[in-house]
Amino acid sequence: MSDSAVVATVDLDETGWLLDAESGEPVAGPWLRDYFAERLAPPAWATDILVYVHGWQTSPKAAQRTATRLLTMARSNLTAAPGRYPGLAAEGFRPWCVVVRWPSSSPVTPAGYRRIRDRAHAMGARDGKGHAAHILGRLLGYLDTERADPRAAPVMANRDGQYLHLVGHSFGCRFLCEAVQWAADARLDDTLGWGAAAHPSTRPFTADSMLLFQMAARRDAFLSLFPHLLPSEAHEGAPLRGPVVATYSRHDRATGFWHLRAERQPGIGHSGIGPAPAPLSTTRLLPLDERYPLAALDHRFVNVDASDVYVRGRRLNPAGAHSDHVRTESAHLLLTLADYSR
């Protein structure tokens, strides 16, 4: 199967609204479901559906290349050492990825970083002008509606179900969190998700994991901005079933030095998630020959210290290692989350 067959793309404009892939024009609201059905129907061969949202300073082609490289690394890891991922080895791992692309380019300067930070905030804001949370929430609801239910067959057995994983980088992490929280507060018929018969807890959809690479948001974001991502007594319908896993590296200057000056504290991508509304655990990004214990990742929020791995940046690039997440170790973490989702 060619790499182009395993990656689909979605493009958003500067307000976060969906653009038609052929005409480049905004898709009318009443036609969203039809557009998703025509362009983004999950293929029957897929075992896992991924939604990847890129971050700062990423062109549309680069976003697609990044997602393809991560999937290629993941498949190579599984082929080389299937024993590290017993659930995937038993059931197979045939991923299909939707890459969400948005206008994120700017000069690689502090001013350019602030410009994209402000744009990302405006795109996701729920003030009637930003649409990214609404569009992505409806996309996730559609994918959930169309995928086979992974709960329909026993774990560790062949099944027709498909798992849903959310993966973001930099400001793309914020879009995913905004979309999930929007869906947690939205009506079922507005998210295009399963009905009440399939979702007795009224959740609009269920994602099995959320992996956030070098998130560009303040450390207390999961208290101040996204407190309703996970199920709780107050929000039992929260759409995220698995953990929120965030990598960080002290070599990430974009979310360290620059973020500190922009928001008076370092970002998650530099220092990890800070205070959170649920128990928080920390582990390190492991090499391929080490398997993550379930106890290391089986928490509501997990910080993954990648400071020994995410160290590279382009020469003289003031962002440091902010975009150094396209690594086999990252694919190892992604595979492990998919494996434990079984």
Q: Give residue-wise pLDDT tens across range 17-54.
A: 999 999 999 999 999 999 999 999 999 899 999 999 99
DSSP-derived 3-state class of residue 227: coil
Calpha distance 212→214 (Å, rounded): 6
Question: Highest mean pLDDT range out of 186-200, 207-221, 253-267?
Answer: 207-221
Whether 240 and 295 have beta carbons less than 8 Å apart is answered as no
Indicate the pairing of strand 48-53 with strand 163-169: parallel
Tokens of 105: 């380019």
- Of 46-55, 122-131, 136-145, 316-325, the one with minimum mean pLDDT is 316-325
Q: Would you tell me how many other CB atoms lie within 10 Å of the CB of residue 337? A: 21
* Alpha carbon separation from 89 to 62, 149, 157 (Å, rounded): 30, 20, 11
pLDDT band at 196 (very low <50, low <70, confident <90, very high): very low
Question: At CA 250, angle to CA 277 and CA 320, rounded to 5?
Answer: 120
Calpha distance 53→173 (Å, rounded): 7
Instruction: Judge whether residue 152 has pLDDT over 60.
Output: no
pLDDT computed for residue 114 by the predictor: 81
The tokens 């994209």 sit on which residue? Answer: 116
Calpha distance 342→86 (Å, rounded): 10
pLDDT computed for residue 225 by the predictor: 87
Average of per-residue pLDDT across 105-114 = 80
pLDDT band at 191 (very low <50, low <70, confident <90, very high): very low
Query: Residue type at 153?
Result: A
- Of 16-25, 95-104, 252-261, 329-338, the one with minimum mean pLDDT is 252-261
3-state secondary structure 281-315: EEEECCCCCCCCCHHHHCCCEEEEECCCCCCCCCC
- Say whether pTM exceeds 0.95: no
Q: Which of 144, 66, 54, 150 is nearest to 103 (CA)?
A: 54
